[in-house]
């Protein structure tokens, strides 16, 4: 029995990586995410918007069996490595695995490699680190915004203007454009002067249209 368990995302990578690491390692795939936000609670969001946006997760369809297979191997392993993809989404998948397996989130178990070569994989094992919780929270926040937009705003737009959906990117961008257009339309032009003078002493009081005009005085 292999002493070390390595968990990756892609089944296609598992055998290749296992070949690089040798007989002391068993590599298994999570096949992507194992958990997602539940559809319970207010508005079916799986997010308690009244309690600091606390999320509730559930196993995705078909992923309970995948996790059970991982768990069986994890119980027999001396060391478990999380080798999900090297970005925020991979970090969150790794965090879900750590939580469901009952591992210590502060223990160095995270390995990262950006290419599937023997040198890169072995270097990843040497550079094992803890999970980057900033990346985890970044991805978790992104997913929750997707859910809130998808469940609430999309339904509103479908009802009001027959739109298909609303997204976290285009919806915010559209609001910025609208607010900028409102600023442009509300803009009231004001006369403004810049006066340039080459002098050591200047006493200037310019009056225009029976009122004092704002002026920048720049000395050279």
Q: Report whether pLDDT(212) > 60.
A: no
- Band of the pLDDT at 175, cuts 50, 70, 90? confident
Structural tokens at position 24: 């002391």
Structural tokens at position 62: 């078909």
Q: How many beta carbons lie within 10 A of that of residue 137, not counting itself?
A: 14
- Band of the pLDDT at 190, cuts 50, 70, 90? confident
Contact 66, 45 (CB under 8 A): no
End-to-end CA distance of the chain: 82
Q: What does the pLDDT read at residue 162?
A: 73
**Could you give the angle at which helices 118-126 and 11-21 cross, rounded to 10 degrees?**
80
Question: How do strand 35-37 and strand 57-59 relate by DSSP bridges?
Answer: antiparallel
pTM above threshold 0.85: no
Q: Report whether pLDDT(207) > 90.
A: no
């Amino acid at each position: 029995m292999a002493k070390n368990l390595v968990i990756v995302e892609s089944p296609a990578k598992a055998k290749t990586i296992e070949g690089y690491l040798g007989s002391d390692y068993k590599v298994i795939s999570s096949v992507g995410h194992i958990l997602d936000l539940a559809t319970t609670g207010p508005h079916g969001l799986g997010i308690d918007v009244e309690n600091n946006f606390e999320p509730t997760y559930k196993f995705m369809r078909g992923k309970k069996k995948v996790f059970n297979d991982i768990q069986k191997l994890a119980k027999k392993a001396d060391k478990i490595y999380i080798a999900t993809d090297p970005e925020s989404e991979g970090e969150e998948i790794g965090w879900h695995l750590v939580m469901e397996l009952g591992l210590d989130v502060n223990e160095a178990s995270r390995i990262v490699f950006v290419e599937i070569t023997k040198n890169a994989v072995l270097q990843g094992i040497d550079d094992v680190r803890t999970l980057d919780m900033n990346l985890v929270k970044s991805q978790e926040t992104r997913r929750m915004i997707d859910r809130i937009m998808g469940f609430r705003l999309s339904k509103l737009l479908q009802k009001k203007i027959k739109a298909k959906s609303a997204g976290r990117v285009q919806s915010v961008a559209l609001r910025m454009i609208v607010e900028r257009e409102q600023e442009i339309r509300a803009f009231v032009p004001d006369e403004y002067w810049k006066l340039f003078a080459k002098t050591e002493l200047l006493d200037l009081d310019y009056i225009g249209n029976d009122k004092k005009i704002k002026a920048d005085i720049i000395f050279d």
